[in-house]
Chains A and B, each alone.
Chain A
Amino acid sequence: MALERVRRNGGGLALATPLLLVYGVVYLAAQVVFLQVAFRATTGRGTYDTTAWTLQNFARILTEPYYQNVLVSTALYGLYVTAICIVLGYPLAYLIVRRRRIGQVLMLVVVGSAFTATVVRALGWRLILGRNGPLNQLLAGLGIVDAPLALVDNLTGAVIATTSAVLPFMVLFLLPVIQAVDPQLEEAALGLGAGWGRAIYEVTVRQTLRGVLAGSTLVYAITVAAFTTPALVGGPLVPLLPIVIRQQVNTAHNHPLAAALAVVLAVAVLLFVWASQRAVGGRRSHAGA
């Protein structure tokens, strides 16, 4: 048996080697290179001074009003999207869990939408929210607005479209959380005289608060890191971190500043992912969701 273990330990190293190699030589090395670029001074189109270290990129992000505004609006945008996702996602997840038959159909809608290319859904939102798009026509037709609302190429559009993009993650996260609550407890509450609203609230909602918190932090992290949807529906000028990062790389060619912005984003996202894992009380990757 001991011999077996030794043989298989050698095998383990051999098995892990290709992965270690690719991750070490490309992934981890890239992180190191990019991290050090964040502490360099730019010298023009995509180049930087490799002789000295500096904190000026981070100082710019924290002190210049433009970047302060970017940080604040990114944070708020994450909050809006997450809040809407809780309000829309919880009832949807609840019905998937508690209404078996129709739940399967609802589940397929959620998964089908999650697996439709993000670009495609963003294209759809550009149409719907456009100046002469169906939503503005509907609002005008109903007499709610006189002039078409500006819903595209701004934060409003980014919030609406990103909500649609990350809602499936919220639902998929909440499903096992709600599933863990015994439906008979709700019936018990009913038997004790609570109304349905009270039964659902006192039993299910209160027992799942931790899960909702964990799901929300995760959705928040996914939202502030999202690129495709806010870039297409929010437009190239929307003050969101991922969009500003791309602008710094492709338009301003200030790679150190882009790297510093990316560090800020990555740290924020990792903190939220970590908080989410803490809230759920164990290791739970969002892989597969």
Chain B
Amino acid sequence: MTGVAERAPTTGPAAPPAGRAPRSPGKGPVNLVLWGLTSLALLVLVVPGVFVVVASVGEGRFVVFPPRGFTLQWYSAVDSLLLSSAAFSLRLAALTTLISLVLGTMGAMAIVRCRLPGGNILEAIARSPVQVPTIVLGVAFLQYFALLRHTLGLPLLGTFAGLLVAHCIIAVPYVVTTVGAMLAMMEARLEEAAYGLGCGPVRTFFLITLPTVKPAIFSGAFFAFLISFEDVALAIFLTSPGRTTLPVQMFFLAEFASTPALYAMASILIAASTVAVLLFNRFVGVEGALYAGTR
């Protein structure tokens, strides 16, 4: 295609039709518009995080702008309610990740490798929770769990177990999608070879399949953890204040009054997610993981 961008001699900017355009719109109004809008977009993305951090280091007991003085005292003032809900959230997200990895990987194996009759339907069902608004799922689980408590005495409403089940259900689709996509890309021949050499299905899975789909397992785990750790719409219906997740506790606090300690906790989360994204990008690769499910 070298002939297309013909290297015609420059006739000056006054005569654009005949002149050779630069390889990129380095200057000019188009570039100005592109970068202007992009800067605005970046501002809209970055600015909330920046102000959270700024608010967390002001000296006043109330968050004011511009903040007066500089202090880190609010970081030690993060109260036990927030800390215990952070522990609650971490435990919940870790268990959600573990369970949805097992369920999702098994499901993806069944769908992609075993050509299960009705596999399409299974796949559609396994992916569907992502497409139902979380708030709708929250209402649905609330009513179902209330019914279960009423009729069978099952303690799923307002408990850790109930929220864990709900989180697994919204996390599984991400695992099925990432692991399924990688399984579909990877040839079954290696597995066939292992079978041929006398490996059982379990041994084949651990020796051949698992090592090959490891990147997909990592990104599935990352998304599962994130989905659980960041959820508000489910937990707000399925737990009660005082014994709930960190984002919901922060949500309640923010609805009442925003204290500098709340912003300190939020800043810690910003730092944590920044580190997580950088590590994830370094070891798994953000772009590859994000587009694993699209074929």
Contacts and interface: CB of A to CB of B under 8 A. Distances in A.
Contacts of A127: 48, 51-52, 55, 63, 65, 258, 263
B interface, by DSSP: helix, strand, loop or mixed?
Answer: helix
B6 to A, nearest CB: 6
A110 B66 CA distance: 27
A115 B38 CA distance: 19
B111 to A, nearest CB: 8
A62 interface: no
Interface residues of A, number: 107
A245 interface: yes
A13 B289 CA distance: 28
Interface string B215-238: 000010001001001101100110
Nearest to A286: B130
Contact of B35 (A95, A132, A163, A263): A95
B203 interface: no
A225 interface: yes
Interface string B102-136: 11101101110111110100100111011111111
A27 B237 contact: no
A287 to B, nearest CB: 4
B51 A23 contact: no
Interface in A141-180: 161, 163-164, 167-168, 171-172, 175-176
A115 B294 CA distance: 19
Interface centre among A15, A28, A197 (most CB of B within 10 A): A15
A30 B143 contact: yes
A69 B132 CA distance: 23
B187 interface: no
A236 B236 CA distance: 14
Interface string B44-58: 111111111001000
B182 interface: no
Interface in B266-295: 266, 269-270, 273-274, 276-278, 281, 286-287, 289-295
B144 interface: yes
A118 B17 contact: no
A270 B287 CA distance: 26
A265 B177 contact: no
Interface string B243-275: 000010011001100100011001001100110
A43 B133 CA distance: 27
Interface in A83-104: 87-92, 94-95, 98-99
Contacts of A121: 48-49, 52
A273 interface: yes
Nearest to B126: A19
B290 A289 contact: yes
B109 A23 contact: no
Q: What are the nearest 9 A-B pairs in CB distance?
A: A124-B48, A12-B114, A225-B133, A34-B140, A30-B144, A16-B110, A15-B110, A88-B41, A287-B177
25 contacts: A11-B114, A12-B114, A15-B110, A19-B110, A20-B122, A22-B168, A28-B125, A30-B144, A31-B140, A99-B24, A108-B281, A111-B281, A111-B290, A124-B50, A124-B51, A171-B41, A188-B4, A195-B16, A195-B21, A197-B29, A225-B134, A227-B135, A249-B139, A249-B142, A288-B290
